A and B are shown apart, each in its own frame.
Chain A
Amino acid sequence: MTSLPAPKPRWPLRLARRAVSPALFDFWATRVNRLWTLEQPLARLVSRTTASRDAVTLVFRPNGHWAGMRPGQHVSFGVTIGGRRLVRSYSPTLMGDGTLAITVKAITGGVVSEYLAREARIGEIVSLDKAFGDMTVAAGGESLLLLAAGSGITPMRALLRDLAARGMPMEVDLYYWARQRDDLCFVDELQAFAAAHPRLRVHFLVTREGDAPAARVDTTSFDAVESLHRRRVLACGPGGFVTAARERFNGHVASFEAEAFSLPPMTPGDDEAGEVEVHLSRSGRTLKLPRNQSLLEGLEAQGVRPANGCRMGICNTCACERTSGTTRHILTGDRSSEPTTQVRLCISAPRTDLILDL
């Protein structure tokens, strides 16, 4: 993963960092301006516009601590709802004036997406994390085939805006699927890019409307794409879409990269059977752990020794961040899949594949 270094602060700020704690500084400074923090990257919602039938485009202005991003990368936004900061990744488009635009579709039951799409008001403050993701395009790269489904258009839009600004330095084909015509976002903007740049071709595919619905990615004809085998393919969409695209193209093109967004797959039946893969992001290890044991016991059995104390869920010594995945609370049986949340390893068992900040 590539990420940009944080901007070097000016001397008054460097001095302040030595003298006071972020908690003290931020408490008073954010009373004057809610973006003035000592270290934490924050952003303020400055505008919202309708992007399609059920999607809105939100524009945020970040403060000086945010390191910026490359077009096509993702950024984790922290939105405080009911006192709890919930973190979700979006792939923003960096606008000319330094603001970040994200397009959010309200998903039924999606706490954050519903909140952002319907309730977030101008002036709302969110936290930002470092940009991440490798779906970026360097100068002089090979020709591209971009595949997007639903909200998967957002990193592609960021890439295309950037490529258009650079005069479209390579051949690019975009295939963009949606269920209905009014689910499509950025139609005018994408068509304008295609009109201005002959090397870009945009294909809209609507699968549930009209007399002749478009084919899905596994059966669509890509004959129109010239020298397909030399293309770099980038795909973004729900898990099923990305899997189908990977099967279709892997090995038949120069390279295939994809990012999927969707809820962790729910395995039916017994919560306590089988094994899952647990990735430890700090140490870079991936381990297979049984689902019928606490994470702490499972990790210890594999020779990993996380800090721990009471081993009964009291002392919080073993708490660590679960970046993604679902865990089961051993005492209550409750499941929890909120990303970027503290879990206590001694009373949590893995339920799905996990990423832990260990």
Chain B
Amino acid sequence: MSRIRNRTLSAAEQDAFGVELDAIRARVTADIGPSDARYIRRVVAGVRWTGVAGRALLFLGAFVHTVLVPAWIIGTLLLGLSKILENMELGHNVIHGQYDWMNDPKLNGKTYEWDIAATSQAWRKTHNFQHHTYTNVRGMDDDIGYGLLRIFPEQRWRPFYLMQPIIAVVFALLFQWGVAIQDLRIGRWFAGKMKPGELRKAFRPVGRKMGKQLLKDYVVFPLLAGPFFLPVLLGNLVANGLRNVWTYVIIFCGHFTADAEVFPKEVLRNETRGHWYLRQLRGSSNISGGKVIDLLSGNLSHQIEHHFYPDLPANRYATIAVELKEICTRYGQHYNTGSLPRQFGQVVWRILRHALPSRPRKLRVLDEPATA
């Protein structure tokens, strides 16, 4: 279904492409300053205020039964919003080191701990390093289907994948737990490829973080409501669920739309900077929709810009995008963007289609040597 819209670039053109993109980075880096600091501090305040308002409304509903339903609904939505903002616009971007330049110990990429079941430490490895360096390279980027789903025809089909329409839904509902155990690579354990005790040792920090999250949302806050613990507990459960589904949708739209490509390991051999950029472009897709989507997706609606410049403050992506589109047009490269329903529709189609056996298209004009 992939339509071929990319011009094959010569080695010299790839280099020139890389040079232009590096120039944008240098220019934005030099311009980073007070407005970016103000932006992320406003996001922090947004996370805190929506969080406290959401939890307060859940308590209000629990104690004042006449307003239970409206308070519960708004409280749950606000708490979900707080968790989404913390996860995406704050946590994800801070952990990338986007705000390290502020030299604020609370916004430091190496120490920030986010409010989800997964540890920031594991995320730094699976996401910041593996996913961002080897984006959509089979066998290197574990985010391709998370070892659970078959998204691309290039992945080998197994009968297990027939269940993936159901597995994909369960995975969406429990997304943060999936991310939490991603780095444990439990598949290797099932296959008997792990030394005894290896999994237990790797699980220890993950288990600690999971316990902390469970204790907070499902024990401490409900207990504060005493006999009316149930609405609080359910509110927290639904807020976490909303965040799970939303992050899943955004992240899947980033790399699994119809035109997104996967690459064999061979492309990494002597890969030039220009080709690395090209690979990021062809493996990523944006979501159009403007400022609200940008904020709620942690600017992953600018997945292409994010993959070019994962270390630049995300509030810059929207401005960078204008120039980037022009550059892509000039080099004859497809800039993959579309509305959320359109992009997610394509993701759903991939999940359904590749549950069944499928074969990569024979004619692949896109394929080209990493270095010419």
Contacts and interface: CB of A to CB of B under 8 A. Distances in A.
A85 B128 contact: no
A310 interface: yes
Given A78-B103, A315-B310, A332-B26, 13 more contacts: A24-B48, A82-B37, A83-B33, A83-B102, A86-B103, A87-B103, A309-B128, A310-B132, A316-B100, A316-B128, A334-B26, A340-B103, A341-B103
Contact of A28 (B29, B48, B97, B101): B48
B129 A310 contact: yes
Nearest to A87: B103
B193 to A, nearest CB: 23
B109 A83 contact: no
A314 B132 contact: yes
A27 interface: yes
B100 A319 contact: yes
B48 A27 contact: yes
A214 to B, nearest CB: 41
B138 interface: no
A40 B105 contact: yes
A65 B323 CA distance: 48
Nearest to A81: B34
A315 B36 contact: no
Interface residues of B, number: 36
Nearest to A332: B26
A315 to B, nearest CB: 4
A21 interface: yes
A22 interface: yes
B108 A342 contact: yes
B37 A83 contact: yes
B113 A21 contact: yes
A84 B132 contact: no
A78 B124 CA distance: 27
A266 interface: no
Contact of B102 (A84, A87, A332): A84
Contacts of B106: 22-23, 26
Contact of B34 (A83, A331, A341): A83
Contacts of A83: 33-38, 102
B295 interface: no
B220 to A, nearest CB: 9
B331 interface: no
Interface string A196-208: 0000000000000
B276 A312 contact: yes
B97 A316 contact: yes
The winner among A84, A310, A312, A316 for most chain B CB atoms within 10 A is A316
A331 B22 contact: yes
Interface string A305-347: 0000110111111010000000000011010000011100000
Which 5 A-B pairs rank lowest in CB-CB distance, beginning with the nearest? A83-B37, A309-B129, A316-B97, A310-B133, A85-B103
Nearest to A331: B22
A316 B48 contact: no
A334 B25 CA distance: 13
B44 interface: yes
B102 to A, nearest CB: 6
B291 interface: no
Interface in B102-144: 102-106, 108-110, 113, 124-125, 128-130, 132-133
Contacts of A85: 102-104
B305 interface: no
Interface in A37-58: 40
14 contacts: A22-B106, A28-B48, A82-B33, A84-B33, A84-B103, A86-B103, A312-B276, A313-B311, A315-B129, A316-B109, A316-B128, A316-B311, A317-B125, A319-B100
Given A27-B44, A84-B101, A86-B103, A314 B310 contact: yes
A319 B109 contact: yes
Contacts of B37: 82-84
Contact of A319 (B45, B110, B276): B110
Nearest to B310: A314
A24 B132 CA distance: 29
A23 B96 CA distance: 18
Nearest to B97: A316
Given A26-B106, A319-B97, A309 B125 contact: yes
Nearest to B124: A317
Nearest to A21: B113
Contacts of B311: 313-314, 316
